[in-house]
Each structure stands twice: as C-alpha cells, then as structure tokens.
Amino acid sequence: MPRATPAMNDDIASSFGFPAVGRKKITAAFDGGRLTSDGGVLLLAQGRARDGDLAAPGRVVLTIPRDPARVIHRLDEILRARVFAIACGYEDADDLDALRDDPGFRLALGKLPESGAGLASQPTMSRWENAPTTRELASMMAAMIDIYCASYPAPPTAVTLDIDDTCDVVHGYQQLSFWNGHHGERCFLPIHIYDTATGRPVAMLLRTGKTPSGKEAAGHIRRLVRHLRRNWPDTHITIRGDGHYGRPEVMAYCDAARVDYVFGLPTNSALRADPAIVAVADACAVKRAQRQCPVLRNYAETRYGAKTWKCQRRVVARIEASTLGMDIRYVVTSLATGSAEHIYDTLYCARGQAENLIKRHKSQLASDRTSCRSANANQMRLILHTAAYWLLWRIQQAMPRTAALASAEFTTLRLRLLKVAARVVESASRIRIAFASACPDADLFRALVLRLKPAPT
C-alpha cells in the first residue's frame, strides 16, 4: 500500500485562510484527495514511442547485481521514472521521494494510483545511477545514437551534425574536474552533438574540463561516424564545428572516411598575408570608406596548408571592414562547391543554433546537475537528461504547425502542458482523470493525446 500522503495527514490538512472576497470567508486545506500537479506526465508516457524509448526491451542491458527476492522496482521502471521526473522539472534523485505516490507518475509508469508499490525512492535511484560500468555506459550512448537514427522514418540523404563543447561548472572535487583558465572555473567540458536543422540530439559525452586535443576529437568523431554508418550506410555526413575541431587529425580522418566538414580556423600570420585575402580586404576597406558605410562585408577564398597538414585545403574568409577596423574570420572546408559567401553565411553560421540547443539541454533540462563524485554517474545523468530531451522534442514535433506552442522552448512546454492539475479517481472498473475545466491549452492537449496514441497492434 502507498504511504500516507500529506492529504491524508490531519496535521497538514488543517485548514488555513485567505482574505475574504465579496464578504465570503475563504478557507483552504490540503485535503483534495488524489490530485497531481503534473497531469501532463501522462502525455510524456503517451509519446514514448518504441524507437525513442531508452528503456525499450533489449535496448539497454545493465548487469546490476540485485537480490531477486528483494526486487520491487524493475530497472526499466526506474529509468522511466527518472526521465519523466527530469522532463517535468525534477532534476535531482532527491525529488523522487516526494513523487513516490503522485498519482500522475504512478499511472505514467503503469501502476494503479491507490495500490501497489510507489516509485523508487532516492536511495534506490542513487544506487542505480552509480551502478553502470564504463562499458555499459558506452552501450547506452550507442543506444542514444540508435534512437536518433530511428527517429527518421527512412535514412536521410544527408545530415549535418554540429559538435561543440560547453562549460559545466563542477560542484566540488569530482572525477574529471579540471581548472579551465578561459572560463575561470573548475569544470567539465562535455561534448554535445546535435542534428541542428531538426533539433535532434545525437550524443553527449562527459569529459575533463580542457579543450579536446586533435587526437581526442578525431577519436570521438570516428566512433560516432562508425555507429551512424551501421544504421545509415549511404547517408552523406557533414561535421560542423568551431576552431577546436579544425585540427589536422580530425580533417585527416574525415577525408579518409568520406565525411565532409566545415570548421572554424584560427587566424595566423600566413593567412593574414595571403595575397588573395589581402587584395579583397584592401578593396573592402577602400569601398567602405568611399561609401561612408558603418560596416561593409565581403568574402574571399584561397588554398592553404599548414605545416601539420598533409595537403592544402579550401579556406574561406569572411572580411568585415567597419569604423572600428578590419575583422577577418576563417573557415576550412572539404566542400568543393558553393560560393565563399554560401559556405560562411549559410553553412558555417548555422551552427549558432547548436549553441541554443546546448542552452536548452543545460538550462531548461538542468543537465549541468552533474554533482556526483563518480564520472560514470555523471555520464549516466547526461544520458538521462538527453532521454528527457527526446520526450519533449517528440511532443513538440507532434503539435500542429499552426499551434502557438509549436516553436516554444521546453520550459514553456513544461509550464503549459506538463504542469497541469488533475484529479485521479479510481473505481472498481475504471480510472478517471479530471483535468481543470479552465485549462487554457485543453484543445491542444487533447489533440496531442490523439496524435501520440500508439497504433493498434
């Protein structure tokens, strides 16, 4: 039987008052019965399609030692409860203690609201998060890539993947924590990879708080491409990133693996002295001065090969003359077609959206709550938060394109669609969920339930 809830406790349920309205006294008490403030968690459960479910049978196998005689919660139940809680804004395992008997979460996990064991407690959650081995975490990360590939109904002709790292300030002296002079913090620098054009997450990797070397970055990209090729042998892949990833080892691997790339390239004296770039830069500065423009932009390209490169590569320069002086940014690419302007403005600058997706992952799903001491446990948290990202992404994709929330941020979706009050009434033959009559998004909620309803089998 579920433990007593605050609504059942006479001390907590004692009434209290508010200022009178229209000469009528207002009293209140926490005695409403089986109510949930997260009625939208059922929407998450409805949208948990098999291709996007990390807990689907056979997708993740964890060899956690457990005494069968004492097992109350299945591993897939623990995983789903944790991911549902993260999506609803409960980012810590501690929060599960307060949600153990929430009727909305119980129903989302296939449990009756008033009988049987509740959700797993915080100690169970914490033990489970710390249990996976490095090999098992690698298999879970591979499963996340499989989820990404399965999210397409058919293998796409081409995809462009953005890779970037982000500062994740640590909460103490944790494994992999490192002082980063650029950020002025002791931190991790996890790598995030997104299919930016569609907003799909691909992979998240916890790593130490220093800029990845060329060898390390090439290794991560090699493993990613190898796994993608198992699902999509004929899909054309383009990797896009800033200057951290424009390393000779990375470009050499991409050339050998027939993977295109567009990377930022730090400036140097050889590029600044390149005749083709200097000629366009001088002409741009003269034209800006003649026209008295605040700023004037132009583009140039050249063939360039650093000493550590094995060949010359195409380099595109964005040249901007302004009243403040000259600003030139460089991009190195394997693409032979497309103008210099197209390569920089249309292709390279589009990677800025990946930074917005990283902010969504970190701030709206609190994936920077990597406060465990163990690096494996923190990697597990990144995977769980990515699974929650998938749930909210799927709800967003199921919306009619004309809906006001079709392009809303995850925090807005949570506020409007997940944080919905509901009364749960269980009878002998059925369970009725009564949402608020004045819910402002009732029509959209109803439409999403119908759209996310699984096909009959």
Domain ranges of the chain: 35-132+385-452, 269-333
Residues 277, 285 contacting (CB under 8 angstroms): no
pLDDT tens digit sequence for 86-123: 999 999 988 888 898 999 999 999 899 888 888 899 99
146, containing H or E segment: helix 134-150
pLDDT number for residue 61: 65
pLDDT tens digit sequence for 351-362: 999 999 999 999
pLDDT number for residue 264: 95
Does position 50 have pLDDT exceeding 60, yes or no? no
Q: Which two tokens stand for residue 456?
A: 């009959």
304, containing H or E segment: strand 295-304
Nearest C-alpha neighbor of 245 from the set 189, 182, 304:
189
In whole numbers, what is the pLDDT of the chain averaged over residues? Answer: 90
Nearest C-alpha neighbor of 201 from the set 153, 144, 155:
144
Name the strands in the sheet holding 422-426, side by side, starting at the edge strand that comes first in the sequence: 35-36, 422-426, 431-435
Q: Which two tokens stand for residue 143?
A: 């499963």
How would you class 408 by CB atoms within 10 Å of its CB: exposed for 0-12, middle for 13-18, buried for 19 or more? Answer: middle
Residue 108 backbone zone (phi > 0: left; psi -120 to 50: alpha; other: beta): alpha
Q: Which residue has the tokens 């090699």?
A: 222
Which residues, in sequence order, are CB contacts of 232 under 8 Å at separation 6+?
149, 155, 156
**Amino acid at position 419, single letter:** K
pLDDT tens digit sequence for 141-162: 999 999 999 999 999 999 999 9
> Radius of gyration (Cα) for the chain, nearest Å?
26
As a whole number of angstroms, the distance between CA 379 and CA 374 comes to 9
pLDDT number for residue 31: 78
